Structure 1
Amino acid sequence: MSAATELRRNSDLDSALVEARALYVAGRPKSAALHEKASEVMPGGNTRSVLAYSPFPTAMARGEDCRLWDIDGREYLDLCGEYTAGLFGHSEPLIHDVLHSTLKRGTNLAAVGEGEEKLARILCGRFPSIERVRFANSGTEANLMALTAARAKTGRNAIMAVQGGYHGGVLTFPLAGRSMATLPLDVVLCRYNDLADARRVAAERAGELAAIIVEPMLGSGGCIPATVAFLQGLRELASECGAVLIFDEVMTSRMSGGGMQARLGITPDMTTLGKYIGGGMSFGAFGGKADIMSLFDGKLPHAGTFNNNVLSMAAGSTAMGEIFTPERAEALYRSGEALRHRLNGLAEQADVPMGFTGIGSMMTVQFQRPLPTEPRLPGPAEEALRELFFFDMLQAGIYLARRGMVALSLPVGATELDRFAAAVAEFIEARGTLLKASGGLH
């Protein structure tokens, strides 16, 4: 047993959190000072809600490959992966080279260019559902435009989404209540992985549904994979009721050369993309059947100053055309699958209520067994354990999402995976008593 493990043996969860928070604060005086200054000019001291956590967020100074350094000089293994957008790490030379050469030729040309045609052709060749594609600045915009296309195509207004789903900052559907930031669209919700409930909701709005939108795996909802039966059932339901089926693959597109739709053999009518596909630049895309996308050939407007910005187009073409090939996507998927099974084996061997849900290179820590198959509201003990896990990983020099999500990047190799597995094993050993006392075993 290591000395660090022995120091973290607490008799109760509250004491453990007090200690972990104190260690966090003591090691990051510059981040604390920056947060205080930022709060004078930005509400909450930040401009991105997912990065806001107590007592203050760690501020990063630089990154290289799969490593990060904060402004206090601490080094981390980056397993947050910019919430899946940082697939290529921080210093991929091919992307750096193409960005530098593109900058030399000008940044805002106010015209079409060769880069967008090249990237569009790559994406149409990769994703089974995408016959035509258009670009945007984010996954949020991509989802908004896909829903607009579905409403225009069908002449209907209602949209079916799932409880716990997230399709962008203005398209959030929490398990409890409603997000005040979500646009006032005509949205009806069904339970995730519950096809009977989806059919019930659809029957109540027969003839009104324009679209069914779903993530093949809930991202911010806890990396909960959809069952094949659920997705296939939604495919059939959309066809039956004349709605457009939209797969939000902003996160899951990394799971194969053609996303989860190719891996599962289930083809939606439209697909939305974002995150890593722009090579780390701002990016979003929506595409689908030619007859739906033809609406944008004069009937439906789709503006956006930076939709085809030369940096995203150039970096995206290099990222998807030269680096993240279907073979590389498959290797990353298998690496993530092996890691998740390894971590879950550690928890099972220790007989603690802990494990990781996910698919491939994305996973989220859970503090219950058996692992959840649908999103749920965590209790106070589980929330406390999730916070403790986050702080303990930071103390071990591992940076992941505050909600416990891990997104592997391509530079993460066997050494880094071993390091993370060792840190999780130490957490289980040090916090085992607290885990067993949490009541998460069913």
Structure 2
Amino acid sequence: MSPLDAPRDPRNSDLEAALAEARETYSAARPNSAAIHAKARAVMPGGNTRTVLFYTPFPTAMTRGEGARLWDADGREYLDLCGEYTAGLFGHSETRILDAVKAAMDRGINLAAVGENEGRLAALICGRFPSVDQVRFTNSGTEANIMALAGARGFTGRTEVLAFRGGYHGGVFTFPVGTPVSPVNLPIPMRFADFNDPDGAARTIREAGEALAAVIVEPMQGSSGCIPATREFLQALREATRETGALLIFDEVMTSRHGFGGLQQRLGITPDMTTFGKYMAGGMSFGAFGGRAEVMAVFDGHRAGAMPHAGTFNNNVLSMAAGCVALGEIFDETAAEALYARGERLRDALNAACARHGVAMHFTGVGSMMTPHFRPGPVTAPYKASIEEEQMRELFFFDMLAAGMYLARRGMVALMLPVTDADCERFFAAVEEFCAARKPVLAQA
């Protein structure tokens, strides 16, 4: 038989063939997920209702979770490293949170009234984040950012907002590299600058002058690949906004987990306002925005002309009860520091493995969050990935699923508290196997 007639091993051939084989293997192993998706497509555009969970040929459907484990509709078990995109910090079966939610449900679900727990949870948040004198709750991080920007515009009497290319501040504030203006974004006058460019950002702030109400920034860009902001960059924003009177807003919806007082405390830079979300209500729906007392006073109903802030479920009893336990009993300073250290160790080990195998693959992040980039590091700014990079990322995703690792489709990992050192070692071994087996189709360092 001619060598040309010999069957090719897709793991050691060209990238497109390897990816095609991975997709076929994925599909063959998940007939029930495929059927669930097919039925959903008849009544939902794309077969789902949350873009980040959509991928082809069809998404894996999960049916159960316990601790740091998930089981899909076809009975396959996974180590959950997605962590509900940072919202699942406490895992799937933390008894203290479940007990708090059950107790709240037993007392009535929709009370249409204030309750003691919302004040308790507000005090917990104000007590740990340097920028927060007062806080209000929302249903999501998206809403938190909407209301923070509304408050900043109301307080300053100005209209424009500065955001950064590659940033993401919720479903209506998404600013991809190259085309930062999206049709889903709210019609707020926006200016844009480059992330981690302190001189350029400061210049843009000063040029905007009294037109600029606020600068909103993630201390680590999450959606663009867990790219940390440098302290120099954030300090430049702090100084320039103080000069011009614009408010500096830190979007810590994701990054507040990186320390007892978030990244603002770890970096020693205090914004005027901060937005929160994700994990703070123990996995229940949640968002919050807070800041200096004089800024938050624009929402004070005791004052004439206060800005309205509606939301049926802002103080829902489930989120308030779970949040008091999550922040008041479980995620204390010791737990936050231990989680941060575990993530730092894991990311360092992963990058050492990538370097050892000589592949152009690099994990960026802070603490318990990290994302692989299929190019040499360091990665300090968002970018538009090439077709080949996207194919390598998809291949990594399918290979991790095959190894029993569930992570975000874009590769992001968000460690949960129930994830152990042994679990991290399993993931490390899976990544090392990926580097070794896929080296022929990965870019070389």
Deviation at 1:199, TM superposition (A): 2.1
**Is 1:190 paired with 2:210?**
no
Residue number in structure 2 paired with 1:3:
none
Supply the distance in 1 between the matched residues of 2:440 and 2:268 (Cα, whole angstroms).
Answer: 44
- Please report how far the alpha carbon of residue 8 of structure 1 lies from its aligned counterpart in structure 2 after TM superposition: 5.6
Cα displacement (A) at 1:202: 1.9
Question: Aligned pair 1:168/2:170, yes or no?
Answer: yes
Task: Kindly indicate whether residue 437 of structure 2 is the aligned counterpart of residue 417 of structure 1.
Answer: no
Determine if the alignment matches structure 1 residue 296 to structure 2 residue 336.
no
Code of the aligned partner of 1:159: V
Post-superposition Cα deviations, 1:78-101, rounded to whole Å, max 9, x if no partner, equal 000000000000000100111111
Q: How big is the shift at 1:384?
A: 0.4
Q: C-alpha deviations, 1:354-398, integer Å up to 9, x for none?
A: 120000000001111123100000001110000000000000010
Residue segments in structure 1 that go unaligned for 5+ positions in a row = 1-5
Is the Cα–Cα contact under 8 Å of residues 281 and 311 in structure 1 kept in the other structure?
yes
Structure 2 residue aligned with 1:251: 254
Residue of 141, 146, 149 corresponding to 1:147: 149
Cα deviation, 1:18-50, whole Å, max 9, x if unaligned, reads 100000000000111111110111111000000
- Structure 1 position 41 matched with structure 2 position 43: yes
- Counterpart for residue 50 of structure 1: 52
Aligned-residue RMSD, C-alpha: 1.0
Give yes or no for the alignment of 1:76 onto 2:78: yes
Query: 2-side partners of 1:426 and 1:76: how far apart?
Result: 17
Partner of residue 3, structure 2? none
Aligned-pair CA distance for 1:427: 0.1
What TM-score, normalized to structure 2?
A: 0.96
Aligned residues of 2:280 and 2:286 also touching (Cα < 8 A): yes
Check conservation: 1:31, 1:71, Cα contact below 8 A. Answer: yes
User: Partner residue of 1:100?
Assistant: 102
Question: Is the CA contact 1:8–1:430 (under 8 Å) kept in the aligned structure 2?
Answer: no
Give matches, 1:130-145, under 5 Å: 130-145=132-147
Tell me, in whole angstroms, the C-alpha distance in 2 between the residues paired with 1:35 and 1:185.
36
Aligned equivalent of 1:61 = 63
Query: Helix, strand or coil for the counterpart of 1:205?
Result: helix
Alpha-carbon distance in 1 for matches of 2:438, 2:182: 34
Q: Would the aligned equivalents of 1:8 and 1:431 in 2 still touch at CA under 8 Å?
A: no
Pair 1:239-2:246 in alignment: no
Report SS of the residue matched to 1:433.
Answer: helix
Letter in 2 for 1:110: A
Letter of the 1:21 counterpart: R
* Matched residue type, 2:348: H
Cα pair 2:164 2:193 within 8 Å, conserved: yes
The aligned counterpart of 1:341 is 348
SS at match of 1:271: strand
Paired residues in the alignment total 433
The CA deviation at 1:128 is: 0.4
Query: Which residue in the other structure is 2:283 paired with?
Result: 280
2:10–2:17 contact (8 Å) kept in structure 1: no
For residue 152 of structure 1, report the CA deviation from its aligned partner.
0.6
Q: Please report how far the alpha carbon of residue 7 of structure 1 lies from its aligned counterpart in structure 2 after TM superposition.
A: 6.0
Equivalent position of 1:323 in the other structure: 330
CA contact (8 A) 1:212 1:246 kept: yes
Contact 2:167 2:224 in 1 (8 A): yes
Q: Secondary structure at the match of 2:124?
A: helix
Query: For residues 206 and 238 of structure 2, what CA distance do their matches in structure 1 show?
Result: 15
Aligned partners of 1:73, 1:8: CA distance in 2, in Å?
26
Query: What is the letter of the counterpart of residue 227 of structure 1?
Result: T
Alpha-carbon distance in 1 for matches of 2:222, 2:348: 19
* Superposed CA offset, 1:154-183 (max 9, x none): 100010000000000001111122221111
In the alignment, the residues of structure 2 paired with residue 181 and residue 172 of structure 1 have an alpha-carbon distance, to the nearest angstrom, of 8
Q: Distance in 1 between matches of 2:228 and 2:377?
A: 15
Q: Does 2:387 align with 1:380?
A: yes
- Following superposition, the deviation at residue 200 of structure 1 comes to 2.6
1: CA distance, partners of 2:205 / 2:120: 39
Mapped to 2, the partners of 1:7 and 1:410 lie a distance apart of 39
Q: How far does the alpha carbon of each residue in 1:133-155 deviate from its partner, in whole angstroms, 9 at most, with x for none? A: 00000000000000001001110
The residue that corresponds to 1:268 in the other structure is 271
Query: Could you tell which deviates more after superposition, 6-15 or 36-45?
Result: 6-15
1:415, CA displacement in angstroms?
Answer: 1.1
Residues 213-224 of structure 1 mapped to structure 2, 5 A cutoff: 213-224=216-227
Tell me if the contact between 2:363 and 2:373 (Cα under 8 Å) persists in the aligned partners: yes
Q: Distance in 2 between matches of 1:424 and 1:432?
A: 12
Q: Does 1:365 align with 2:372?
A: yes
> How much does 1:11 deviate?
1.3
SS of 1:207's equivalent in the other structure is helix
Encode CA deviations 1:379-424: one digit per residue, 9 max, x unaligned. 0111000000000000001000000100000000011001000000
Please report how far the alpha carbon of residue 434 of structure 1 lies from its aligned counterpart in structure 2 after TM superposition.
1.2
The amino acid that maps onto 2:27 is V
Residues 392-401 or 6-15, more deviating = 6-15
Cα deviation code 1:226-254 (max 9, x no counterpart): 00000011011110110010000000000
Secondary structure of the residue that 1:419 maps to in structure 2?
helix
- Give the structure 2 partner of residue 396 of structure 1: 403
User: Which amino acid is 1:95 matched to?
Assistant: I
What is the match of residue 229 of structure 1?
A: 232
